[in-house]
């Protein structure tokens, strides 16, 4: 959701803050602002709309002079998007400025208390309550004022705070919302995400819930919720800075689609050694895996769709029961958990609020937890019993591509590892699977090299108002993700259905010229899915088939257009089939003139419920 960046040092803060906010645009926002202490007080500039508006009125941040400041991109929750509701918020006295990500749940009670004590509010936001509350408690010691306010505030928040009385000092606070501190030479930073600071430093620490960081140019001090000093580990981020840049591509999304062959190699290759799957740093031994009685896969959005694919693979090969649950529903479903239950949490950012809550609930109920995440040191990574990183590198486009694909790859490795531990596959079968998995990146490169064909097909379908995706089994799981990609960035009403359910109501939506994407990569289900494609075509639909080279001729008999991917093991076909669907969504959205990397109303990381 909202993006936060703070800087204190010897350089002019304005351009650094604007540059950091540019790197956080992917999180989604409707306004932006910066505050800088110039030694004579706190100066604020903020603007409704895209960051370019703020850049324009501040000359890229240069008009606000000073070497310490806060930056923010806001996603409206309390109060409509407006200049008044934009961050940073300044207290009534002008002493305290605050930026905030999250939701203050008891802000109405606190606001009423402050109004009764003479405070005047100028916005509709919950954030201004935090600003006024800190000022209310301020008696010359900013740290103690922040600490007192934290004891009153309920909810999830990451706060950045500055005080007019201390121009070089910033305070960062975290509770159930992501916040990192980063270290430079004679300067220090905090931000919602490491991408905001990568061009300046790769040395970071991750704040835990309830912790406070006090930043000055020369040092950073950490305190727990009792104001006791805390020592923090310094992590080195090994992401390439260029991975967070467009590198000549028109959009981050197409760049990240084309990065998937490399991303899969980086995810898979280090974990295959001498014909064996090696997971370093986790303690899921064979005895435990054999004793698992139930597996929950818990996730949101595209990560949930990864879980649906994984369910089909695990149940078919490992023969363990798997339930895939939306993270937002897990806590409220009263899940049946035993000491032999494994809960797998999947999240790109590792900061997805619903998935964090589900992780904590699973642990409370006694399940063992395994996280699949991309961001080292994230909340889910720290709190899970075991963690597997996808090593996808930074993903900037809101619509996920390479994060989805690398999550899939990790689930393949897990499936094969579980199957080996449970004696469900032989050594020769494992070797064959791993040999084929190592070939997947090369096959992805082949698909990407032929993307002009997908671009041409997108030109035939981009004007549609509705598009349907159909498939069976893993092809249905693929349909879910293909449909989501299309609706996310093109704004076409797109829905995915299990092909066998067409006659149970869905087929009534088919009329002349309705596009239907029929995913038919499974040979054993080809005949049935082809029959479903014929049913919709008989009712006027235009059918675009996604299939394999060996099934191309069968698909051509029922489809108007065909995209064929290289043949592979059924387990790995989702990694191949999803790429043309990502490309199709991208080129459709381009043809419609949409904002590809920043689709409306969406945020990259959903850090509130």
Looking at the chain, the whole-number percentage of residues with pLDDT higher than 90 is 72
Q: Where are any strands of DSSP class E within 472-526?
A: 493-498, 515-520
- What integer pLDDT is reported at residue 592 of this predicted model? 94
- Tell me the Ramachandran region of residue 366: left when phi exceeds 0, alpha when psi lies from -120 to 50, beta otherwise: left
Q: What is the mean pLDDT of residues 403-413?
A: 97
- What integer pLDDT is reported at residue 603 of this predicted model? 58
- Check residues 230 and 3 and name the one with the higher pLDDT: 230
Instruction: State both tokens at 155.
Output: 């909810």
Q: Are 391 and 406 within 8 A, CB to CB?
A: yes
* 493 has catalytic annotation: no
Q: What is the pLDDT of residues 448-483, one digit of tens each?
A: 999 999 999 999 999 999 999 999 999 999 999 999
- What integer pLDDT is reported at residue 451 of this predicted model? 95
DSSP structure string for 385-423? SEEEE-------SSS-SHHHHHHHHHHHHHHHHHHHHTT
Residue 43 has pLDDT above 80, yes or no: yes
* 2 has catalytic annotation: yes
Q: What is the mean pLDDT of residues 236-255?
A: 78
State the Cα–Cα distance between residues 205 and 230, nearest whole angstrom: 12
Could you say which of 2, 163, 448, 594 is catalytic?
A: 2
Q: Which of 453, 483, 459, 455 is nearest to 471 (CA)?
A: 483
Q: What is the mean pLDDT of residues 146-162?
A: 93
Looking at the chain, the whole-number percentage of residues with pLDDT higher than 70 is 96
- What integer pLDDT is reported at residue 242 of this predicted model? 60
pTM for the structure as a whole: 0.81
**pLDDT classification of 608: cutoffs 50, 70, 90:** low
Angle at 601 between CA 257 and CA 609, to 5 degrees: 100
DSSP letter at 523? Answer: G
**3-state secondary structure (DSSP) of residue 353:** helix
Mean pLDDT over the full length of the chain: 91
Q: What is the mean pLDDT of residues 77-88?
A: 76
Residue 88 has pLDDT above 90, yes or no: yes
Instruction: State both tokens at 365.
Output: 């109920």
Question: b or e along 204-242 (b: 16 or more beta carbons within 10 Å of the residue's beta carbon)?
Answer: bbbbbeebbbbbbbeebebbebeeeebebeebebebeee
State the Cα–Cα distance between residues 134 and 606, nearest whole angstrom: 26
- Tell me the Ramachandran region of residue 554: left when phi exceeds 0, alpha when psi lies from -120 to 50, beta otherwise: alpha
Q: What is the pLDDT of residues 99-151, one digit of tens each?
A: 998 888 898 999 999 999 999 998 888 889 999 999 999 999 999 999 999 99
Q: What is the pLDDT of residues 307-341, one digit of tens each?
A: 999 999 999 999 999 999 999 999 888 889 988 99
Could you say which of 255, 485, 598, 604 is catalytic?
A: 604
Residue 439 has pLDDT above 70, yes or no: yes
Pairing verdict, β 272-273 and 276-277: antiparallel
- What integer pLDDT is reported at residue 75 of this predicted model? 67
Cis preceding linkage at 88, omega within 30: yes
CA distances from 410 to 270, 302, 311, 350, 417 (A): 12, 15, 13, 15, 10
With a CB cutoff of 8 Å and minimum separation 6, the contacts of 587 are 454, 455, 458, 459, 462
- Check residues 405 and 28 and name the one with the higher pLDDT: 405
State the Cα–Cα distance between residues 8 and 136, nearest whole angstrom: 25
Q: What is the pLDDT of residues 558-606, one digit of tens each?
A: 999 999 999 999 999 999 999 999 999 999 999 999 989 888 766 555 6
Q: Are 361 and 309 within 8 A, CB to CB?
A: no
Pairing verdict, β 170-175 and 180-183: unpaired
State the Cα–Cα distance between residues 390 and 266, nearest whole angstrom: 8
- Tell me the Ramachandran region of residue 457: left when phi exceeds 0, alpha when psi lies from -120 to 50, beta otherwise: alpha
Q: Are 218 and 228 within 8 A, CB to CB?
A: no
**3-state secondary structure (DSSP) of residue 106:** coil
Q: Which domains does the chain have, with CATH numbers?
A: 3-237 (3.60.20.10), 245-449 (3.40.50.10490), 451-591 (3.40.50.10490)
């Amino acid at each position: 959701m909202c993006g936060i960046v703070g800087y204190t040092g010897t350089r002019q803060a304005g351009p650094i803050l604007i540059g950091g906010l540019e790197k956080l645009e992917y999180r989604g926002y409707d306004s932006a602002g910066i505050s800088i202490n110039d030694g004579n007080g706190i100066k604020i500039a903020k603007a409704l709309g895209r960051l370019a508006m703020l850049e324009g009125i501040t000359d890229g941040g240069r008009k606000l002079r000073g070497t310490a400041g806060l930056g923010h991109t806001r996603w409206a929750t309390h109060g409509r998007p407006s200049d008044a509701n934009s961050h940073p918020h300044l207290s009534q006295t002008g002493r305290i400025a605050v930026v905030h990500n999250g939701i203050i749940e008891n802000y109405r009670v606190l606001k009423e208390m402050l109004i009764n004590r003479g405070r005047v509010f100028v916005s509709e936001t919950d954030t201004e309550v935090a600003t006024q509350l800190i000022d209310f408690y301020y008696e010359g010691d900013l740290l103690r004022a922040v600490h007192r306010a934290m004891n009153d505030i309920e909810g999830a928040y990451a706060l950045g705070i500055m005080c007019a009385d201390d121009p070089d000092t910033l305070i960062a606070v975290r509770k159930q919302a992501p916040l990192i501190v980063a270290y430079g030479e004679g300067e220090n930073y905090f931000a919602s995400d490491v991408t905001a600071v990568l061009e300046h430093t790769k040395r970071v620490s991750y704040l835990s819930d309830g912790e406070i960081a006090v930043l000055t140019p020369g040092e950073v001090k950490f305190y727990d919720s009792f104001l006791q000093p805390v020592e923090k580990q310094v992590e080195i981020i090994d992401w390439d800075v260029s991975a967070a840049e467009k590198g000549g591509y028109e959009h981050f999304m197409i760049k990240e689609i084309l990065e998937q062959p490399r991303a899969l190699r980086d995810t898979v290759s280090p974990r295959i050694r001498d014909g064996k799957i090696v997971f370093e740093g986790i303690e899921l031994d064979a005895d435990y895996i054999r004793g698992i009685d139930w597996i929950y896969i818990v996730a949101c959005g595209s990560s949930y769709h990864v879980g649906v694919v994984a369910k089909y693979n695990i149940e078919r090969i490992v023969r363990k029961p798997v339930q895939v649950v939306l993270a937002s529903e897990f806590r409220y479903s009263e899940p049946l958990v035993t000491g032999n239950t494994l809960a797998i949490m999947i999240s790109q950012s590792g900061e997805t609020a619903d998935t964090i809550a589900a992780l904590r609930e699973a642990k409370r109920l006694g399940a063992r937890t395994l996280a699949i995440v991309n961001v080292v040191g994230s909340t889910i990574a720290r709190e899970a019993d075991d963690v597997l990183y996808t090593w996808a590198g930074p993903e900037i486009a809101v619509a996920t591509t390479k994060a989805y694909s690398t999550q899939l790859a990790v689930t393949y490795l897990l499936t094969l590892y579980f199957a080996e531990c449970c004696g469900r596959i032989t050594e020769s079968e494992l070797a064959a699977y791993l040999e084929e998995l190592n070939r997947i990146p090369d096959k992805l490169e082949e698909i990407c090299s032929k993307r002009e064909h997908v671009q041409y097909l997108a030109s035939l379908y981009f004007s549609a108002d509705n598009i349907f995706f159909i498939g069976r089994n893993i092809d249905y799981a693929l349909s879910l993700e293909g449909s989501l990609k299309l609706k996310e960035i093109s704004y076409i009403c797109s829905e995915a259905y299990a092909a066998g359910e067409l006659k149970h109501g869905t087929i009534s939506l088919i009329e002349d010229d309705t596009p239907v994407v029929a995913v038919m990569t499974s040979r054993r289900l080809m005949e049935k899915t082809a029959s479903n494609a014929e049913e919709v075509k008989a009712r006027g639909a235009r059918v675009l088939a996604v299939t394999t080279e060996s099934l191309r001729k069968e698909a051509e008999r029922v489809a108007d257009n065909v995209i064929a991917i290289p043949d592979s093991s059924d387990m790995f076909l989702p990694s191949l089939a999803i790429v043309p669907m990502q490309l199709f969504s991208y080129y459709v959205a381009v043809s419609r003139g949409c904002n590809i990397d920043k689709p409306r109303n969406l945020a990259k990381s959903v850090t509130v419920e």
